[in-house]
Structure formats: C-alpha cells, structure tokens
C-alpha cells in the first residue's frame, strides 16, 4: 500500500515487545489493544499481526494490489475511491483503490488492519514503532510504501468481532491501585487524588497521558528516589504534582515517585482514546 496522506501521527503497531525491560527496551505496541485485536479478527489475521494506528485525523492509502482491510477504534468516516465504506467491518480494495480513513468523530486513535498484516522488518520479535527508543519501522510519511504479508485463510470474523457503535466521551475513569510510593504523598493529597476531577492535557502522547486542571499532589517527604523500574499503567508524579499515566511507549525506569498503577485492560484502552480536555477521575481499587 502506498501512503498518500500520513495524518497527524500514523505508526505501525502490533502487540509490542514485552519481556525486554531488563535490557532497557520498552514494550510499545498498540495503545487500544481491544480495537487493534478486533481489526485483525475482522480480516482473518492471526493475533499479533502488524496494523496501522492513526491519531485524530486518520490516513489515506492506495492499494497497490487487491487487499481486504478493516477500520476500528475511534469512529470515523471511511471512504473507498471517494464513496462511503463500512467502519468496523471487512472492506475489499481492488488494486489502485484509495482508502481514506477520516478524522476521528469520537475518541482519538483508529486502527487499520490489512489481511496478511503489515510486513515491516521485525525488531526483537515485534514490528511495533516505538517513538521513545526509535525501535521498529519508521513513521510513515506521504510516499511511504507499506509491504503486506501473504494472506492466511479467508477472513471469517469471530462471533464477537462486532465493532462498538462509538467511543465513550463523557469522562475517563481510571481504577487506581495505590503504591508502591503512595507514602511519599500526604494523606490529604491522596484523598484529593481519589476525589477530584482532572483533565487530559494536550501534552499527552504515546508515552504517557498527562493530566491538568486538578490538585497538585503534595509530598510528605523531601529528597528524590533513585531510578527504579516502571510498568505499563504506572502513575508517576513529577515535580509539578500532576499525575502522568504511563502508556505503551513509557520508559522502563524513572526517578519520580509512582503513587499508584492503573491495571492493563479496558481502562488503559479507554485512555488511548482520551482527547485533550476530557475529564479524568481516579477511583481506588
């Protein structure tokens, strides 16, 4: 496929590189794991096949050979050669046909799976683009050619391979398991964290969801921590006191205290779709 419009940020993603943190390699991979997995099921790909992850304003590509694609994640207009096509369902493209994945109407990130998967070279067993470390395929730009792997069996969507009608937009609710450094903050700050409203900051990215608009967390002790391991979903508190939720491209170590962890799963998938300005609330596990 030839990239005609790359959009604000389109990357190649799969399930990432788990298991290499001890070597300093982040996990990376698709931020909305549910939407990514659904897109692959819709085109009959095995789990873990590489797909495109778009940000906010989609992508436009031209099929250089016949392919089957599916678009999931953030709801958006899908067009083939200028005509409306299905979102959340398999779509066949003839050679020369142009697929236009439009601007997200709700949510933030869409996923474009291609039958056969994207055949970028694998690094440490993954085709994921890691924006922090630079591992994986380069970020596609207009003119990039995306190789597609050989197709597997005819796509037969699973019984549960039905895309939701849209993304929740009212508020992002993140379950929080306190620790390991909750004792670095005052009791009043912890109570405020679990009872106050924040907003998603425009400075958020694939590395972390930054917050704004809520109370800054006050420390109960001075000094700094030595660097220690960070996990997906760790909520780190930098000197400004505003929580940062680590996402797929997060660093493997950090020196700011981690007040708690948001478990991987639906909550972090929802965080991947949270637009700047959306309300955020932390609730205790």
Predicted structure pTM score? 0.94
Pick from 196, 161, 1: nearest CA to 95: 1
In a domain, 153, yes or no: no
In a domain, 164, yes or no: no
In a domain, 140, yes or no: no
> Per-residue b/e over 40-56, b at no fewer than 16 CB within 10 Å?
bbbbbbeebbbbbbbbb
Count the residues in the chain.
285
In a domain, 135, yes or no: no
Task: Write the CATH number for 204.
Answer: 2.40.100.10
Tokens of 65: 């050979």
**Dist. CA 148–CA 146, nearest whole Å:** 6
Tokens of 39: 């897109």
Domain that holds residue 226: 172-284
End of a domain among 92, 114, 136? Answer: 114
Q: Taking a C-beta distance cutoff of 8 angstroms, is the pair 113, 39 a contact?
A: yes
Q: Taking a C-beta distance cutoff of 8 angstroms, is the pair 267, 175 a contact?
A: yes
pLDDT value at residue 170: 83
**Kind and range of the H or E element at 117?**
none
Are 180 and 105 within one domain? Answer: no
Are 176 and 273 within one domain? Answer: yes
Residue 92 DSSP SS3: strand
Q: How many domains does the chain have?
A: 2
Residue 192: other Cβ atoms inside 10 A: 16
In the numeric block, the tokens 């069996």 are attached to: 153
In the numeric block, the tokens 């109960």 are attached to: 220
pLDDT profile of the chain (285 residues), mean per 10: 98 96 93 96 94 98 97 97 96 98 96 97 96 94 97 65 59 97 97 98 97 97 91 96 97 95 95 97 96
Tokens of 81: 């050669």
**Dist. CA 143–CA 145, nearest whole Å:** 6
pLDDT tens-digit series, residues 40-65: 999 999 999 999 999 999 999 999 99
Pick from 236, 221, 231, 222: nearest CA to 183: 221
Are 100 and 203 within one domain? Answer: no
In a domain, 119, yes or no: no
**Kind and range of the H or E element at 247?**
none
In a domain, 138, yes or no: no
In a domain, 32, yes or no: yes
**Kind and range of the H or E element at 189?**
helix 187-193
pLDDT value at residue 165: 52
Are 104 and 177 within one domain? Answer: no
End of a domain among 114, 132, 147? Answer: 114
Output phi, psi for 91, to 5 deg.
-135, 130
pLDDT value at residue 224: 87
Tokens of 137: 């395929």
pLDDT tens-digit series, residues 74-123: 999 999 999 999 999 999 999 999 999 999 999 999 999 999 999 999 99
In a domain, 18, yes or no: yes
Task: Write the CATH number for 98.
Answer: 2.60.120
Residue 208 DSSP SS3: strand
End of a domain among 67, 85, 114? Answer: 114
């Amino acid at each position: 496929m030839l990239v005609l419009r790359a959009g604000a940020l389109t990357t190649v993603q799969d399930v990432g590189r788990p298991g290499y943190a001890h070597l300093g390699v982040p996990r990376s991979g698709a931020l909305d794991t549910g939407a990514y997995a659904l897109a692959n099921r819709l085109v009959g790909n095995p789990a873990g096949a590489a797909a495109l992850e778009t940000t906010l304003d989609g992508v436009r590509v031209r099929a250089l050979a016949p392919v089957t694609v599916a678009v999931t994640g953030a709801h958006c207009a899908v067009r083939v050669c200028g005509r409306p096509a299905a979102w959340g369902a398999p779509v066949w493209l003839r050679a020369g046909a142009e697929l236009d994945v439009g601007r997200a109407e709700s949510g933030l990130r869409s996923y474009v799976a291609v039958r056969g998967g994207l055949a970028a070279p694998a690094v440490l067993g993954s085709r994921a683009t890691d924006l922090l470390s630079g591992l994986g395929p380069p970020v596609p730009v207009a003119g990039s050619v995306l190789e597609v792997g050989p197709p597997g069996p005819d796509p037969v969507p699973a019984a549960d391979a039905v895309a939701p009608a849209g993304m929740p937009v009212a508020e992002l609710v993140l379950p929080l398991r306190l620790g390991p450094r909750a004792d670095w903050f005052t009791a009043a700050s912890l109570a405020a964290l679990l009872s106050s409203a924040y907003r998603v900051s425009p400075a958020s990215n694939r590395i972390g969801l930054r917050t704004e608009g809520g109370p800054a967390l006050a420390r109960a002790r001075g000094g700094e921590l030595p660097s220690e391991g960070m996990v997906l979903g760790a909520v780190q508190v930098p000197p400004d006191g505003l929580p940062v939720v680590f996402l797929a491209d997060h660093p493997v170590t950090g020196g700011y205290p981690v007040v708690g962890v948001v478990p991987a799963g639906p909550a972090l998938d929802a965080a991947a779709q949270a637009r700047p300005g959306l309300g955020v609330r932390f609730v205790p596990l």
